[in-house]
Amino acid sequence: MERDDLKLAETGGEAPPTPAPEVTSVPAWVSAGIPAVFVVLWSSAFIAAVIGTDAAPPLLLTFSRFAVAGVLLTVIALVSKAPWPKGRLLLHVVVTGLLMQAVQFGAFYTAIGAGLPGGVVALIQGFNPVLIALMAGFFLGEKITRQQWLGFTIGGAGVALAVAGALHFSGTAIVLSFVGLLGLSAGTVYQKRFTQGADVRSSTALHFLASAPVMLVMTLTLEEPKVTDWGAFGGSLAWIVLINSVGTFLLLNFMLKKQTASRVGTLFFLTPAVTALLAWLVIGQTLSPSAIIGLVLGGVGVLLAARK
């Protein structure tokens, strides 16, 4: 009791404040699970795109995705009082958004709308870490090892085999898939190089807001923007916006802030196999034997190329 009275006297008769509880860090299993969740959610976008492009033209679906997601993320950024980029940083964020959103998904959705299987599109997109490594070697002077060159060769053979099995589809669709790959890879490297100081919430919102007008002009000039199945269109759009546009890109931007671009890029080598499995389970879409072999070779090649 005397010690307690002494402490009260030293503090002016008031009990000393109770120490604040320590803030625990994010559990390790949560951090470890984020990449796996990202891969599954990212892969599901191809399935939703197949459903959506059966119900409406691809560029209309792309515009609708960007417009709705842009408004939703803008509200989130404003409510959470996220800082908005200004000046040169704003310009870099816009360029990143045009590459990662307008170029990538405008091209991918048009390819899927032309009938190219989601698994083949995902395989081409899965070559993203290889292209990132090549860009890093060319623009940043990073050394490319023999193992990476071996991975490039095997992965390239896998992509060629899968694409050869899909040549009965539009050749333009295959070219567009590679254009989408270029947009994603260039956007990833550009974002890592120039927009590290941007807030994830506001920058992702600006990605969509900058890309939506481009897609609007394209859908009005290049196709007839008409929905033939509002149920399928609304369902796929809701999934693409809430899960893929908001969820996966917040996860992607978060991981890009915490890890190197090449390490994040390695996750994309898993998406072709996951996409093919989801396509079979959800919409009954199957791949030819050559495409399946190409899928396996592509995954092995990209894995080799992405490993340090």
How much is the pLDDT for 29?
59
pLDDT at 19: 45
Nearest in space to 31 (alpha carbons), one of 259, 266, 198: 259
DSSP code of residue 198: S
Segments of the chain scoring below 50 in pLDDT: 1-24, 26
Q: What pLDDT shows up at residue 293?
A: 81
Of 307, 292, 239, nearest in space to 117 by CA: 292
Instruction: Report helix, strand or coil for 132.
Output: helix
Biggest distance spanned by C-alpha atoms of the chain: 91
* pLDDT at 121 (0 to 100): 85
What is the per-residue pLDDT for 169? 63
Give the C-alpha separation, 256 to 264, whole Å.
Answer: 7
Tally the residues of the chain: 308
Give the pLDDT confidence score for residue 261 in this predicted structure.
63
Helices in the chain by DSSP H: which ranges?
Answer: 2-10, 28-55, 58-79, 87-97, 104-113, 118-125, 128-139, 146-164, 171-194, 200-222, 230-239, 249-258, 261-265, 271-282, 289-306
Q: Angle CA(188)–CA(132)–CA(109) in degrees, nearest 5? A: 60
**pLDDT given at position 98:** 97
Q: Answer whether 73's CB lies under 8 Å from 246's CB.
A: yes
